[in-house]
Amino acid sequence: MPAGSGNPILKRCTVPFCSAVLLLLPVCGTAQSQSGIDLTAIDKTGDPCNDFYQYACGGWLKANPIPPDEASWGRFDVLFENNQKILRSILEDSAAHQERSLIDQQVGAFYQSCSNEDFIEKLGSAPLWPELDRIAAIATRADLLAEIARLHSLQVQVFFSFSPEPDPDNARRDIANLDQGGLGLPEKDFYFRTDSHSEDIRKKYVAHIAKMLELGGVEPSLAAKQATEVMRIETALAKGSLDITARRDPKLLVHRTSLAELAAESPAFSFPDYFQAIQSPKFSTLNVSVPAFQKALNDLLANEPLPHLKDYLAWHYISASARLLPHAFVNENFEFYSRALTGASQIRPRWKRCVSGVDEELGEALGRLFVERTHAEEGKVRTLQMVAAIEEQMKRDINSITWMSPVTKKRALEKLAAVTRKIGYPDHWRDYSSIHIASEDYFGNWYRANQFESHREIAKIGQPVDRSEWEMTPPTVNAYYEPTENNINFPAGILQPPFYSNDARDSVNYGAVGAVIGHELTHGFDDEGRQYDGDGNLKDWWTKNDRDRFTKLSDCFVNEYGGYSPVPGVELNGRLTLGENTADNGGIRLAYLALLSVLAKKSIPLSQTQDGYTQTQQFFVGFAQVWCENERPEATRLQVQTDPHAPAQFRVDGTVSNMPEFGKAFSCKPTDKMVAAKACRVW
């Protein structure tokens, strides 16, 4: 598995693609709510036994249309919006008091440079030209190699990717990894689907490339020709790529290769010269994730005329820089990557884009100020208590299941005991002091920060893995499981109201945040996570019979979710979403069992009511209301094609229909839709 590929519970679409941003919102009670349920969100005309999502969320969905600058709008977006406002306040204060500290100077000047639209407009496309001139001057294959390395150091991922990753056989040490890359569309299959919508997206993409090249200074008729060549090059790269579903199997991405073998397989590109140019530490072996892609890349570089390859580099550099440039670039980038792909009708306000930019480039500096402002330490204590309770239920669950043999159970329990927790924020903050940040150089600030991060990452090769490092910044509203480190991670962004409320009943809190904790723990034992041992090594610790039983049980989820159709003509990919569906179903069950234990210790009967709902009904409503979300059809289509997470409705209805406890809680009949004829269950 490539480094940085943990399992967030949700991905939220932004420009240009979907970034791993989990936005979780538990249930916030209104003033009239005793339990913590949002009573105004409930649609009393709905039938919980036949469409629980509509019942729990219908009122909220009706009252909360999607803002024009968003592709979707849900309960989780409200929490994200609140965090954005906190970050904006921090950044405006830092911008006004840059003399206060180095952190204030860096985040304040970065935000100020992004906010100064008049200065950015005045500069026009001039910031692009030094690099575009360098690309235009490429005269030899050696020049091409040097420019590829340079663009990679700027985090412009042309042709392929090169990064550290934990050694599959020794997850405590990073090795070098070559992987596929270099595409401008979200995923391989976007280049090959034959339906009319996909063909239309490809036409719009080629037109977008041409328009961006024009903005970069290319004459219109020539830009159109160059766009066609760029599309042809990307299609060749896509043909050699592994599709998004296949990439979920980590074993398919492990091919240990010596430098001599790599040189023999890639004669058209001197990788040793590239590794030197990118300033990589020396190594003798590396992992080549997708050998078929390397062959396609070699064939392309060997046979493609140099001018076409230069056009490809120019396009990707302009595209990567679009957000840093005048309105014409920003708006054209929005037209394709947001309007065409997600259906958003209006660009996000500048301040939101600037906040996101600082979080992306100087995230731990901004996060340090965020932690101080929000007193995140309080959330750590609450979260750890719930994690301990839910881990105990997982231990009991593993002991009680009947399909797993004693020998595999023993190893599963050993892995569970080895799970570590990172809560809130890093123990040691990243030092950005070497990056020069100027208040009137947004373009330069961005790429200097990119170079800093590229060099920091590349230097990890051959070094011990720093397991204290976070994949996400503290302000991120997210949670994830990292299989190569066997840890669960809850950044500070979620450790505050309304994610978890001291005013809500245990039943609601366990339905909301408890199900999330259970979700992340279950990822360690889904179809992907189960292939890693307790130390994060890619190691088969299952007996063959247990593997076969697990696969058979998992196939139930593949078939169930594969039958859902969120937009006409598009069905969910049950294989792509298998890990998340397994985690959703396992997570809610663990949270439910933990709640039963808590209520028993407090002598609270399940039948006790608040707001007209029993304890178990509150639990399920609390779970469902996390996922209340309106989404544009275009965004739903994109999610189904690129995202391992099912749309919100099916994360609710699919999950509760597999729990007999839900049917009992709401007195559902066996023939009701929320009562699966054959309930799926792994954990």
**What tokens were used for 487?**
């840890």
Contacts of 365 (CB under 8 A, 6+ apart): 103, 106, 107, 429, 430, 432
Distance CA 194, CA 203 (A): 12
- The 3-state secondary structure of 282-304 reads CCCEEEECCHHHHHHHHHHHHHC
Helices (H), 246-362: 259-265, 271-277, 291-303, 306-321, 327-334, 341-342, 350-361
Please state, as a whole number, how many other Cβ atoms lie within 10 Å of the Cβ of residue 85. 13
d(CA 532, CA 177): 18
CB within 8 Å of 410: residues ≥ 6 apart:
none
Give CA–CA dist 678/456, Å, rounded: 50
420 forms beta bridges with 487
Helix segments in 419-514, DSSP class H:
442-458, 506-509
Residue of 361, 560, 584, 653 marked active site: 584
In this structure, are residues 657 and 608 in contact, taking their beta carbons and an 8 Å threshold?
Answer: no
| Contacts of the segment 391-394: beta carbons below 8 A, 24+ positions apart | 391/416, 391/419, 391/521, 392/594, 392/597, 393/518, 393/590, 393/593, 393/594, 393/597, 394/518, 394/521, 394/522, 394/590, 394/683
Q: How far apart are CA 315 and CA 322, in angstroms?
A: 11
Strand order in the sheet with 420-424: 420-424, 487-491, 480-482
Q: Is 392 an active-site residue? A: no
Annotate 103-122 with DSSP letters as a single string. HHHHHHHHHHHHH-HHHHHH
Dist CA 658 CA 294 (whole Å)? 43
CA distance 377 to 398: 32
Peptide bond connecting 16 to the previous residue in cis, omega within 30 degrees of 0:
yes
Say what the alpha-carbon torsion angle 514, 420, 645, 656 is, to the nearest 10 degrees. -30
Contact 390, 594 (CB under 8 A): yes
Residue type, 57: C
332 catalytic, yes or no?
Answer: no
Tokens 């985040």 correspond to 107
**Strand ranges in 493-559 using DSSP code E only, listed in sequence order:** none
Three-class DSSP category at 54: helix
Residue 90 in contact with residue 369, Cβ under 8 Å? yes
- Classify 106 in phi/psi space as left (phi over 0), alpha (psi -120 to 50) or beta: alpha
170 forms beta bridges with 167
Backbone angles phi, psi at 433, to 5 degrees: -65, -20
Give strand pairing partners of 572: none
Q: Which member of 520, 526, 528, 643 is catalytic? A: 520
- For residues 572 and 285, the answer to whether their CB atoms sit within 8 Å is no
Torsion of the alpha carbons at 647, 652, 658 and 662, rounded to the nearest 10: -170
| Helix ranges restricted to H, 116-168 | 117-123, 129-136, 141-153
Task: Tell me 252's DSSP state.
Answer: G
Residues with a catalytic annotation lie at 520, 584
